[in-house]
Structure 1
Amino acid sequence: MKKNSFLSIVFSITFLMGTAACAQTTPTQGNTQDSSTQTPGAAGRESRVGSQGVSTGKDLAASASMSPNHTMLASALKVANQNSRMAAGTNYTVFAPTNDAFNKLPSGTMEKLLTPAYKQKLMGILGTHVVQGNLMAADLQDGQQLTTLSGEKLTVSKQADKVMLKDAQGNTATVIMADIKATNGVAHSVDTVLMPSK
């Protein structure tokens, strides 16, 4: 039941990311950065921590569009049969890998993970990207340890305006689009797939 809930959250976040991509540069009140720092990394630019501030005004499950930058994540969630809606009352933080992140996996890995025999492994990988609570990029501190809903540990690293996460295997993901807010959580798009310890 717990796995179904957090994977539903990740699936819902792909819709949130799409809404944010459509809104692209709707800044929060008081944000005066130019739009060139608010593009979601598709052209190789890294966004500044806190520069996104996009709000959908909907909960994670109700956010309407799917991001073109997260179609592989959506496919993985569909294969894992994680399409149910989550309750709107709990806050979650999702570190959502982009298509480019999945493409960095060794050749054949994604294809293997999308087969029924690897469903449990796929669920473990997806669960490594969800943390309970509403964590904006500014809330993340250098050296902070986050516990994912699947029980994995992620270590936060901050260098200037970059936020990075290291998983138990030593993989490091950089937040390339931060602070995409929903009524029940926040998403941060990342450039690397985080892996569970086993």
Structure 2
Amino acid sequence: MRHGWPHRSCAAADVVATGDDILLHAADGVNASDTARLLLASAAPTIALASADWIATTDWSAHGYVAAVDRNRLAADLPGNVTDWSHAARLATIDRLAGTFGKAPVARLLDGLRGALEQMLDAPHDMRLTAAAHRIAGLAGTLGFAALGRHWLRVAEYGHAPDAATRRATAHALLTLDRAENV
């Protein structure tokens, strides 16, 4: 255990990620690009650990990382980033929302988020995608998927198709939504 989380280290070639795993990768290390290709082949959300300079000068989202954390700020920033990608944390938020607003209204919102994600993930890039991405970002944030919302907001703001990280974040959110339906 590290910082209260189960932790295991392995070589990138040996990564077998489960649906609950969150991968951490030293993104600016020696052989980082070769290792990244192996890690990013997994569906698990992958967080880049790197220098502040690398984070500032690299489009880490386009490289498939769902987040980037300055290795000199791990103790301060990593816990929040890991929580952003925890199925259990999202499900706890959904439960709190259902307790406050009722299960049926929250279920309808979750269904709406799922439908929007599935419809827009592979939609051609045009103004419709940009507008829908903005709506997805807002709905995702409302339902406790803030990190997913930030990825879709990036699609809306920069006017481009979903990148590798947005696709990874979306797939991860859909897994969480599957679990919410089974609760």
TM-score range, shorter-chain basis? 0.3 to 0.5
Q: Which has the higher contact order (CA 8 A, sep 6+)?
A: 1
State TM-score, norm by structure 2. Answer: 0.33
TM-score relative to the length of structure 1: 0.31
Q: Which has the larger helix fraction?
A: 2
